[in-house]
Every structure is written in C-alpha cells, then in structure tokens.
C-alpha cells in the first residue's frame, strides 16, 4: 500500500547535526523508506535544490541551508536484509578502531554505499552490524572493485576534521597497482587535468582534458616483471578515477580495468578471467585529529591479487 509522503515540494532547513554532511547521505537519513536509486535519480535530474541551486550528490551542507525536496511517494517500510556473513566479513576486515575512527581493509566487489545496482554497501552493513553506534559515516570513498584502507568516522566532529586533513593533503594515501608494460624509471609523477562526464545512466566517465581540474599523482616502482610493473601510487589530488585514468593516459593501464584498460592485453596475460581491477589502497598515514598521535595503517593484499603476482612471468 502506498502512503503519500509529500503532496508538494518541501523545504528542510539544515541544523547543526547535519553540518558538513553530503547531501546524498542527508537524503538517505531523511527519506529512509525511499529507494536509494530514486534519491540518486532525483539528484541527477536536478529535482533536489540547496538554496535554490541544483544539488550534486557530493555537495556538503551547512547550517541553515535550505534543501528543497520534490513531491515523493513512499512505499510501506521494508527492512533490507543484509546477510550475516557480510557483516562478519567486514568485522574481520577491521585494521584500526578507536572511539572516533574505524579503518578497514575493504573487500573487493562491495560498493561503499548502496545505490542503483546494489541495495546496500559497506556503510549500510556496518550500521546494521554495529546497531548501537550513534554515528557512522564514510570519510572518503573507494570504487566497488578497489580494495584496501577505508576510513569511517564514528563522530561528526571527527568526520569534519578528517575532511580538512584530506583537503589540505595531510593524509598520505598509498595505492598498489599492477599495470601493463614496464614503467619507465624516470616517470615519477603524472600531472594531467581531468574532466568528468556523467552519462545518462549516472555512470562517471573521466578523461584527460585541458579544461579539466588539476590532477597530480606521484609514482614509484615497487617491482618490475617481464610484461608488467607493480607501482606505488600517491594521489596528491582526489579526482574521480584519477589513478585509473592517469595510468591509462600514459599507456600503462591497470590490469583488469574494464573501463579504462585494454581487454585484449588482459586476455593475453590470462590472469584476469577470475580476477578484478588490480588496484589496492595499501596504506594510510596521518595525524589523528583528536589524539595528535601519528596513525599509519597498512592493508594486506587480498588473496585474488596476491595470486596474480604469483602467476605473472617474472
């Protein structure tokens, strides 16, 4: 049975409890029984406004902002059932935890939040597993097939402080990526602006373009193989798909990348039929915003990527 939620557009004023929150997360909490796919669709189509301006999913709210929500209809509440094994998988993946912060080794194949293609993601699983936790929010994001270090804040003040660290470049992120070909030893960085397009499906597509935003990636060789190179990457900016597009732009795409890679080479090396994008958020280093202590966390490679390194010719 359908229940009317709003007969006309509604305006919600942002309070201190939502200061600094992304608009998509704000809508998830405000419109609890509206499918996330519907929420993302109304963001894409401009139905949601912040202070009369069209909102993007990544926009962050401030106290007293006016959020316009279009007329909606709400289904009878249904609780999404998340398998227990997924809850246990994430609890086993915790690398660091204190009263303010959680860092886990995100498994591959899980989106960080639910959306059009998945009814739940990492953050939804954690909220159900830790039902007593009053606050859990993603500090940053990883692509669905990217594994490794993922930070979740347990307090809004911690979330805001960590966002400042990320914006100021005070949080060092290190990734491991296996690329096709032997990376030239003198290529230590990639400086190429990136322009993002959002397709009608809602999918992001990024390309190197002179009108794009500044994007800088530091590159170091971890190990050289006969036909591949394992790289250590440190993004100095946080653009969508930055590492994947930068490496593809230099002619050395990441092994197993379905969007920016080379499928023929993936097939030739015969290691990707059961594997996935070889990109892993290996390490996070930063000063804890509450304790002032240096935090350095490393996430070991998952078995699927470790086995790839064992199979490729040395």
DSSP at 203? -
Q: Strands 147-153 and 279-287, how do they pair?
A: parallel
Q: Where are the beta strands (DSSP E) in the chain?
A: 3-4, 10-13, 49-50, 53-54, 66-69, 73-74, 94-97, 101-106, 137-138, 147-153, 172-180, 189-191, 194-198, 204-208, 216-224, 228-235, 279-287, 294-298
Residue 22: C-alpha distances to residues 56, 140, 163 (Å): 9, 11, 12
**Would residue 143 show up in a list of annotated catalytic residues for this protein?**
yes
Residue pointed to by tokens 């809602």: 202
Question: Token pair for residue 135?
Answer: 């606050």
Catalytic residue from among 59, 143, 257, 266: 143
Residue pointed to by tokens 């002619």: 251
Sign of the Cα torsion 200, 202, 208, 211 reads: positive
What are the backbone angles phi and psi of residue 173, rounded to the nearest 5°? -105, 135
Per the CB < 8 A criterion, the answer to whether 106 and 112 are in contact is: yes
Tell me the three state secondary structure of residue 227: coil
Q: Return the active site residues.
A: 143
């Amino acid at each position: 049975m359908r229940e009317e939620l709003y007969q006309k557009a509604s305006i919600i004023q942002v309070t201190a409890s939502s200061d600094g929150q992304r608009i998509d997360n704000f809508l998830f909490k405000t419109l609890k029984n509206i499918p996330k796919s519907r929420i993302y669709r109304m963001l894409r189509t401009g139905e949601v406004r912040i202070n009369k301006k069209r909102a993007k999913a990544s926009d962050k709210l401030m106290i007293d902002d006016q959020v316009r929500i279009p007329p909606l209809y709400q289904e009878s509440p249904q609780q999404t059932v998340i398998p227990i094994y997924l809850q246990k998988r994430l609890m086993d993946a915790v690398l660091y935890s204190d009263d303010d912060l959680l860092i886990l080794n995100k498994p591959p194949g899980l989106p960080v939040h639910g959306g059009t293609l998945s009814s739940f993601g990492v953050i939804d699983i954690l909220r159900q597993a830790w039902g007593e936790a009053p606050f859990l929010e993603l500090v940053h994001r990883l692509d669905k097939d990217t594994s490794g270090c993922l930070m979740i804040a347990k307090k809004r003040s911690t979330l805001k402080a960590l966002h400042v660290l990320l914006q100021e470049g005070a949080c060092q992120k290190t990734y491991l990526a296996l690329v096709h070909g032997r990376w030239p030893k003198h290529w230590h960085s990639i400086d190429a602006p990136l322009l993002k397009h959002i397709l009608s499906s809602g999918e992001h597509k990024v390309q190197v373009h002179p009108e794009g935003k500044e994007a800088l990636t530091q590159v170091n060789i971890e190990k050289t193989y006969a036909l591949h190179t394992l790289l250590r990457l440190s993004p100095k900016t946080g653009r969508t798909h930055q590492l994947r597009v930068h490496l593809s732009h230099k002619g050395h795409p990441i092994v197993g990348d379905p969007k920016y890679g080379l499928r023929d080479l993936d097939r030739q090396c015969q290691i990707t039929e059961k594997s996935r994008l070889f990109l892993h958020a290996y390490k996070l280093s930063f000063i804890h915003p509450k304790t002032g202590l240096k935090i350095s966390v490393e996430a070991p490679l998952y078995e699927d990527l470790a086995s790839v390194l064992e199979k490729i010719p040395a």
